[in-house]
């Protein structure tokens, strides 16, 4: 028999709230079976939730996470899913590198502005010292 999980089992195992799990379910990213009011999650749901959480940590949108989950196909070795994941990783890495360059440029601009302010303050103090 395959392992199944309750919503509280998943929440505890992955350190997320049951509310978050229900949200991902509402977004169509998890699809538990129902036994009355009880949700029964499969190992596939566990993997999907792990993928969602990993995707969020590295900056993927929920839409990107959903796309990766929808590509899950163990019969093909998940090749398309893995290739798409690699493409998204490369794009995210490029985005982060650009953001790092932008931050470094901003730091240079701040340094220049600070130097100008300090020079202007020193000039003001020098002029006030002369006129005093």
Q: What integer pLDDT is reported at residue 131 of this predicted model?
A: 66
Please determine, for residue 1, whether its predicted confidence score (pLDDT) is greater than 70. Answer: no
User: Which CATH number covers residue 38?
Assistant: 1.10.1660.10
- Cα separation, 127 vs 132, whole angstroms: 9
Residue 65 lies in a domain: yes
Please check whether residue 24 lies inside any domain of the structure. Answer: yes
Span 25-56, pLDDT tens digits: 999 999 999 999 899 999 989 989 999 999 99
Beta strand residue intervals within the chain, DSSP E: 33-35, 38-40
Q: How many domains does the chain have?
A: 1
**For residue 19, what are the domain limits?**
7-70
Which pLDDT tens digit goes with each residue over 50-99? 999 999 999 999 999 999 988 888 888 888 999 999 999 999 999 999 99
This prediction's pTM? 0.73
């Amino acid at each position: 028999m395959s392992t199944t999980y309750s919503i509280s089992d998943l929440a505890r195992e992955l350190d997320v709230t049951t509310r978050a799990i229900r949200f991902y379910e509402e977004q169509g990213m998890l699809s538990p079976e129902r036994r009355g009011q009880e949700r029964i999650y499969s190992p596939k749901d566990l993997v999907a939730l792990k993928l969602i959480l990993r995707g969020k940590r590295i900056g993927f949108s929920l839409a990107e996470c959903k796309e990766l989950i929808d590509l899950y196909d163990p019969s093909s070795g998940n090749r398309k899913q893995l290739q798409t994941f690699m493409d998204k990783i490369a794009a995210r890495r490029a985005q982060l590198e650009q953001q790092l360059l932008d931050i470094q440029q901003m730091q240079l601009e701040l340094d220049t502005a600070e130097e100008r302010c300090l020079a202007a303050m020193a000039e003001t103090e020098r002029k006030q010292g002369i006129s005093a």
